[in-house]
Amino acid sequence: MQNNHKEYDVVVVGGGISGLAVAYGLCKNNEKLRLAIIDSPTELNKASRTNVGLLWCQSKFLDVPDFARWGFLSCKHFPELLQELKEISKIEIPVNFTGGLIPTLGEAEFTQRGDYIQKLKTALGAYPGSMISRSELESKLPKIKFGEEVTGAAWCEEDGVVEPLLLFRAYRSALKKMGATILEDSMVYDVQAKDNNAYKVMTSRGEITCERLVLAAGLANRRFASFAFNDSDNATNLDMPHNLHDNLYDVSYNHGGLPIFADKGQVLLTERLPFVMPIPLLGCTQTFGGTVIIGFKHETRGHDATVVPEAVSQEGAWALRVWPELAQKRIIRSWPGLRVMPNDKVAIYSHLPNHPHVTVINTHSAVTLAAVHSRYLPEYIMGGDLHECAENMTLKRFGFAC
């Protein structure tokens, strides 16, 4: 696109899995919608390209049951999303809806995990999973010789795994076929409100105006959303001196601006193995390419995204306790990724303070939640309500007025 000035109904800043998912949903609802996605040059850290593709709802968010429900809802709608994408893009997306397993090492871990799941059952009312014994685990994955310490696993039948890069590619291809404009390798320099109902986005490809703006640029949302926080009186604690012991990543810490941080992950990738894992194991997952991805760490190191062998080999050492045969398998690649983590780990779906036509989307589970992002977020973006599961996921919970 060489035009210097273009008008769209909706502009989505950020062409990762979140941006693509909502853009797809928006275009699907309204084929006449004029929509553009802006995606930055790929040298910048791209969370959507560095993940395993797990569709994971089990065993988390006991304290926010709605978020757990939101995940299960997405897993439920995933098959139809993939079917639609396949029809439009003609791209086959490998996926397993065979459930998911979290192996436990030792009795204490087994009990601990079991307690957590019991509490989840109570909080949610219904829960499609349970603890299984080691022998049950072995019968689910008969081709894997588990290490001695493995006592069993948490099993959930609603989980699965998808090939994330093909999902990504299918979304993009479908969007192009549906008439969306994708501006690749483009930088966004500034976002300005034109008047109450329009926005100006200054990009390396020229100026773009839109009626509604979606910020789905992951960690970069911090700078794109800042215009709403700078001119509002929502920032608190401006006069208070900072304390060396403040935990930057604590829910209660308010540093002004969008409450998200970079959560670092690193993975090791092995050579191709024959298929032995029809049901994904969390932490060492065999991909559709036959390789095994090992990694599950969460670290907070700001934007530092270097691979630190000491850290990643702790994950490797864990994987060896679960699956000792991996010791002889060769690592052929290793890479880091920065997860996009809201301060309280729950997704952020929110209009910005004083800007009802701007929606910000941030979550670290963008692959799992792709189905509900496509299905339910467009309504909110266009001025309607949030799905009931996601009602409390706006910025209000952090003390912002919106």
Partner 1 sequence: MSDTVKIYVDEKMMEVPAGISVAAAILGHSHSHNHSNDQSRKAFHNNSMDASPRAPYCLMGVCFECMMEIDGEANVQSCLVTVQDGMQVKRQLNTEAFHYKNTEDDLPENRRTNND
Partner 2 sequence: MINHLDLLIVGAGPAGLSAAVAARSCGLDVGVVDEQGAMGGQIFRNLHLPFGRDVLDEHDKELGLQLFDAFHASGARFFSETTVWGADKNTVFCKHKGKSEKITATKILFTTGGMERPIPFKGWTLPGVMTAGAAEIILRSGGHISADKEPVVLAGNGPLLLSLAMHLIDEGIPIAAWLDTGRFSHKLGSIMHMGSALGDIPYLKRGMHMALRILKNKIPIIQGVNQIEALGENSLEKIRYQKNSKWHEVASHTLIRHENIIPRVQIASALGVELVWDSVQRYWYPKTDEYGRTNLNDVYMTGDGAFVNGGEASINKGYIAGIAIAQDMGVLSADEGALRCAESLAAMRKTCKARNYLRYVFAPNPDAYKVPDETIVCRCECVTAKEIRDAVREGFHTPDEVKRFTRAGMGPCQGRMCGNALAEIIAQEQGVSVEKVGMLRNRQPFAPVTLGEYCSLHAPKI
List the single partner that 97 binds among partner 2, partner 1, none, CB under 5 to 8 Å by kind.
partner 1
Q: How far is the CB of 280 from partner 2 (least distance, A)?
A: 18
Residue carrying the six token digits 């810490």: 253
Residue carrying the six token digits 């601990």: 112
List the single partner that 255 binds among partner 1, partner 2, none, CB under 5 to 8 Å by kind.
none
The verdict on 327 binding partner 2 (CB under 8 A) reads yes
- CA–chain centroid gap for 75, Å, is 13
Q: How far is the CB of 323 from partner 1 (least distance, A)?
A: 17
The verdict on 19 binding partner 1 (CB under 8 A) reads no
The verdict on 187 binding partner 2 (CB under 8 A) reads no
The interface region with partner 1, picked from 15-23, 106-114, 167-175, 284-292 by CB under 8 A, is: 284-292
The verdict on 121 binding partner 1 (CB under 8 A) reads no
Size of the site for partner 2 (CB under 8 A): 37
Q: What are phi and psi of 23, to 5 degrees?
A: -60, -45
Q: Which is nearer to partner 2, 172 or 345 (CB)?
A: 172
Q: DSSP secondary structure string, 262-309?
A: EEEEEEEEEPP-----SSPBTTEEE-TTS-EEE----B-BTB-----H
Q: Which residues pair with 351 in a beta bridge?
A: 359
Q: How many residues does the chain have?
A: 402
Cβ contacts of 304 within 8 Å, gap of 6 or more: 264
Task: Tally Cβ neighbours within 10 Å of residue 7.
Answer: 13
- CA–chain centroid gap for 332, Å, is 25
The interface region with partner 2, picked from 73-81, 223-231, 319-327, 357-365 by CB under 8 A, is: 319-327
Q: Which residues pair with 201 in a beta bridge?
A: 191, 208
Distance CA 4, CA 67 (A): 42
List the single partner that 209 binds among partner 2, partner 1, none, CB under 5 to 8 Å by kind.
none
The interface region with partner 2, picked from 28-36, 96-104, 135-143, 168-176 by CB under 8 A, is: 168-176
Q: Which is nearer to partner 1, 3 or 83 (CB)?
A: 83
Sign of torsion over alpha carbons 35, 7, 207, 348:
negative
Pattern 129-158, binding to partner 1, x per CB under 8 A? -----------x----------------x-
The interface region with partner 1, picked from 10-18, 88-96, 170-178, 238-246 by CB under 8 A, is: 88-96
Distance CA 245, CA 257 (A): 20
**Directed axis angle between helix 370-381 and helix 65-89, to 10°?**
100
Pattern 284-313, binding to partner 2, x per CB under 8 A? -----x----x------------x-xx-xx
Pattern 5-44, binding to partner 2, x per CB under 8 A? -------------------------------------xx-
Task: Tally Cβ neighbours within 10 Å of residue 285.
Answer: 22
- Structure-token pair, residue 355: 């800007």
List the single partner that 95 binds among partner 1, partner 2, none, CB under 5 to 8 Å by kind.
partner 1
Closest by Cα among 85, 20, 110 to 367: 20
Task: Pick out residues in 41-100 that bind partner 2 (CB under 8 A).
Answer: 42-43, 49
Distance CA 364, CA 366 (A): 6
The verdict on 63 binding partner 1 (CB under 8 A) reads no
Q: Are 271 and 330 in contact (CB under 8 A)?
A: yes
Residue ranges in contact with partner 2 by CB under 8 A: 42-43, 49, 165, 168-169, 172-173, 176, 182, 184-185, 268, 270-271, 289, 294, 307, 309-310, 312-314, 316-317, 319-320, 326-335
Residue ranges in contact with partner 1 by CB under 8 A: 79, 82-83, 92, 94-99, 140, 157, 163, 271-272, 275, 278-279, 288-290, 328, 330
